[in-house]
């Protein structure tokens, strides 16, 4: 990875990843942004963000993790803008789950 840059802004009600960028090799690029806000109420945290990862070499990643092993998957893949429109983290405890994402 090269060229890792980013900007994070923190204030009492919000943590904002305004920009995150990095390069993986000659062609692969990561771009991301996100926002975590405290709004109060029953589900006090709102999480939103998106990212894109272009021309990512998955085989190279697996090889870096375990050099002695043949990569599980090989190929160049784009991961364009996986973006949850809205995610909410609940601080309420229940028997089914401690935190919910919607």
What is the pLDDT tens value at each position of the chain, 102 positions in all?
899 999 999 999 999 999 999 998 888 999 999 999 998 888 888 888 888 888 888 888 888 889 999 888 888 887 766 444 433 333 333 333 444 433
Q: Among candidates 35, 38, 39, 33, which has minimal Cα distance to 16?
A: 35
Burial class (CB in 10 A: 0-12, 13-18, 19+), 36: middle
pTM: 0.62
């Amino acid at each position: 990875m090269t060229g890792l840059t980013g900007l994070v802004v923190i204030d009492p009600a919000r943590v904002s990843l305004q920009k995150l960028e990095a390069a993986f090799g000659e062609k692969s690029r990561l771009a991301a942004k996100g926002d975590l806000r405290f709004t109060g109420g029953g589900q006090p945290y709102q999480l939103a963000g998106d990212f894109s990862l272009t021309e990512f070499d998955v085989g190279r990643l697996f090889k870096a993790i375990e050099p002695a092993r043949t990569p599980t998957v090989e190929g160049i893949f784009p991961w364009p803008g996986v973006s949850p429109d809205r995610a909410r983290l609940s601080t309420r405890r229940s028997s089914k789950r401690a935190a919910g994402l919607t």
